[in-house]
Every structure is written in structure tokens, then in C-alpha cells.
Amino acid sequence: MIDDPKYHALQGLLLSFGSIAVAFSGGLDSTFLLTVGRKTLGDRIIALTLRAPYIPGRETEESRKICVDLKVKHIILESEIPDPIRYNPENRCYLCKSYIFERFVAEAGRLGDYQVVDGTNLDDTGDYRPGMKALKELGIRSPLLECNITKDDIRRFSKLLGLKNWDKPANACLLTRIPYHTEINEEELSGIENAELFLHQMGFRTSRVRSQGSTARIEINPVQFDHLLKQPVRQKIIDKFHELGFHFIAVDLEGYRTGSMNIKKKT
């Protein structure tokens, strides 16, 4: 039992909904929300996941396994790249969230009287997130945000609950790895996903591969720069990235940071 005002507030809010459909990515935030929802509401909870080329496949598979462990009904909806985001516009997140959550709301309505909820937390309000507008328009509730729960809170609570992914690094859809106003193709998305998976397997848990044409720009924690540049690690990364179709491989000296493709938008 977690004795914390924020945790109790979250439970109370979830109870007020009656039944919930969690937009479930398999990431830390939605895993925590799903877990608390399961403990609080019992069988009055379902999980909704979208499988699409711009969402890492390993995330979808992890979401499936988590739902099996929690014994939560899990619906995976299939999708191609929606036409409105084909050229990665600056309001891509808004258009994408609108598309995804319209499908989630329709599916939740088909299955019963479920309030659709997502894992947005208080810290998410500090970055450029146009997708939050779409959530409000569609009546999606964000219980973690409404209860003023931060990322640190989520990690702390998740560890107390014994969740295996309590220290999992943040993730985002693969479209965030590509510059705005660039046509999206599945081959490039696959290359990015496999490049990041390789870095993860090499010990770079917090990492991104930003794709700019034939160039891969690697973002990692600066404390790992020395490790990345030492042999044989450096050569293994070069060989793998060339195999994946990248002609040039660069290391971003600023290191890993969320929303680095949003810099022009912020200034």
C-alpha cells in the first residue's frame, strides 16, 4: 500500500470514472497508470494500443506482454502512416493524436462505457506538445496530470509497486527523429528503429538517432561519449549504421535531450 496524497488522489479520480480505457504505449507512464487502474478498478479497465510503422515495434510487443501479466484486456489497432502526417508537418503531433484518439474513443464506445485516459503527466507541460490540444478536444482525461503527478513521482511509485520498467528511459514516436516537412517512408523509420535498438544493446539506454537524409545524428548521455568513441564500440556502430543505410554517422555534442527537433519552433 502506497501512503501518499497524490497516489490516493489518483485512485479516487479513477474510481470516479467507473470504467477506463487506457491509451497504452508500453512506456513507463502508461504502464504505471494501467497498473494503478487495474488495482483500483479490477476488471473495469481495458488497454488500447496502436500498431503503426512510426511506433517502435518493440514497444508494442512490450505493451502486449505487460497486459498479459496484468490480466488486462488488450486491443491492438492496426494503422498505416496517416496521410495528414505523411510529410511530417509541425503540427504532426496534433494531427496524429487526433487520428489515434478518435480511433480509441470509437473503440472504447463500441466495447462499452469507458472513459479514455492517457499517461500525460505534469512534466509533459514543459515541452512543445501540440498533441495535448487534441486530447482536450476529444474529451480524453489525463489522470496523472490532473493529480499533479510528476515523472519522479511515477518512478518512485512504480518502484514501490515492483514494476520492472520503473527506470525505463522515456520514448517517443519515430517521427520525432526526422526533421519537419520531410516525407516519411517506412524504410527510413525501420532504419532508425533498428539503429536505436542496436545502441540500446550496446549499453546506451538513453539514446536517440536523428535521421537527416543519409546522416544519422546520435544523441547519448555525454558521460558515455568516451565509451562510444573507443574501439571496438565505435567500429561496431559504424558498421551497423552503414548496414542500415546511413552513409554518415555524427555524434551530437550536446548529448541526448528530448524535443531537439523542436529547437527552431521554440526560438
pLDDT in tens, 187-233: 999 999 999 999 999 999 999 999 998 999 999 999 999 999 999 99
Would you say 74 and 106 are in contact if contact means Cβ atoms under 8 Å apart?
A: no
* Closest to 50 in 3D by CA, of 85, 87, 15: 85
Say what the pLDDT of residue 265 is: 46
Would you say 211 and 178 are in contact if contact means Cβ atoms under 8 Å apart?
A: yes
Say what the pLDDT of residue 87 is: 96
pLDDT digits (tens, 9 = 90+) for 25-64: 999 999 999 999 999 999 999 999 999 999 999 899 999 9
Burial label for 26, CB within 10 Å (0-12, 13-18, 19+), is buried
Provide the pLDDT confidence category of residue 172 given band limits of 50, 70 and 90.
Answer: confident
pTM of the predicted structure, to 2 decimals: 0.90
Say what the pLDDT of residue 257 is: 87
- Locate 216 and state its grid cell: 544519422
Identify the structural domains of the chain with CATH numbers, from first to last: 5-160 (3.40.50.620), 185-266 (3.30.70)
Other C-beta atoms closer than 10 Å to the C-beta of 47 total 27
pLDDT digits (tens, 9 = 90+) for 59-112: 999 999 999 999 999 999 999 999 999 999 999 999 999 999 999 999 999 999
- Locate 100 and state its grid cell: 489515434
- Locate 16 and state its grid cell: 470516479
- Locate 223 and state its grid cell: 558521460
* Alpha carbon separation from 74 to 47, 49, 158 (Å, rounded): 5, 8, 21
pLDDT digits (tens, 9 = 90+) for 129-152: 677 889 999 999 999 999 999 999
Say what the pLDDT of residue 112 is: 94
